[in-house]
Amino acid sequence: MTGLLTVVGLGPGDERWLTPAAAHAVAEATDLVGYGPYLDRTPERPGQRRHASDNRVEVDRARLALEIAAAGGRVTVVSGGDPGVFAMAAAVFEALEGGDPAWRSLDIRVEPGVTAMLAAAAQVGAPLGGDFCALSLSDNLKPWEVIEARLRAALAADFVIALYNPISRARPWQLGRALDIAGALRAPATPVILARAVGRADERVRIVTLGTADPGAADMATLVMIGASTTRLIERPGGGNPFVYTPRSYGAGP
């Protein structure tokens, strides 16, 4: 089989965070496959086919991409952020494992990207300066009990916690529940970052505390980050958001 399938991440939404490797894979593709709003971020090219889908059929989209590659196409599957972090790469490998064995001979590549938590962290300082974890609050594909057990473990071990997929119309209560659990295990003054649409025109980044964090202030495009016990603020003269950072040393202030 001569086809090529590359899974890329476009980063958080601004071209200055798009890697040359991902841009190249988008430019060279005969076919682009992805969720419509991500495809809309890529420039139209004559002769290049675009296969847009909604955001709830990842494995179907992955199968389509594999079929096109098996027919000899150079397919690029487009994700936001990093394709390996709660995005399309795992769906492609699920489709590969469950699909035509001949697909395993295809040239399949993944190009990393800047995932939302790294961009959100950079906007406010260095909150991921210590150990951290990334947890999806979506219970579409795993039981809520697993999510809650992971959250409790991460809180008890004092990881900084990045919450992906915090809330949606179909999942309205999960973020509130997660913040309640965190509030019982960490101090009310713990910094919480609500980073919406980082790098896009409608970016909005708020720094609040665990004691006052309002789940209603987050939406599907928000990355929520809960600080560790060591996460600190540095206020700035003249107002504006403070810097937020987690020192490298554990239990020691500067």
Residue number with CB closer to a second copy (47 or 201): 201
Residue number with CB closer to a second copy (41 or 50): 41
CB of 27 to a second copy, least distance (A): 13
Name every residue whose Cβ is closer than 8 Å to that of residue 191 and which is 6 or more positions away in sequence.
Answer: 127, 207, 208, 209, 210, 227, 231, 232, 233, 244
CB of 133 to a second copy, least distance (A): 4
- Phi/psi for 206 (5° steps) reads -120, 140
Residue number with CB closer to a second copy (118 or 210): 118
CB of 176 to a second copy, least distance (A): 19
Q: In DSSP terms, which residues pair with 77 in a beta bridge?
A: 7, 33
Exposed, middle or buried, 111 (CB in 10 Å: 0-12/13-18/19+)? buried
Query: Which contacts (CB < 8 Å, 24+ apart) does range 170-173 have?
Result: 171/137, 171/138, 171/139, 171/140
CB of 173 to a second copy, least distance (A): 19
Residue number with CB closer to a second copy (212 or 250): 250
CB of 183 to a second copy, least distance (A): 19
Residue number with CB closer to a second copy (49 or 236): 236
Q: Tell me, rounded to whole angstroms, the distance of Cα 49 from its chain centroid.
A: 26
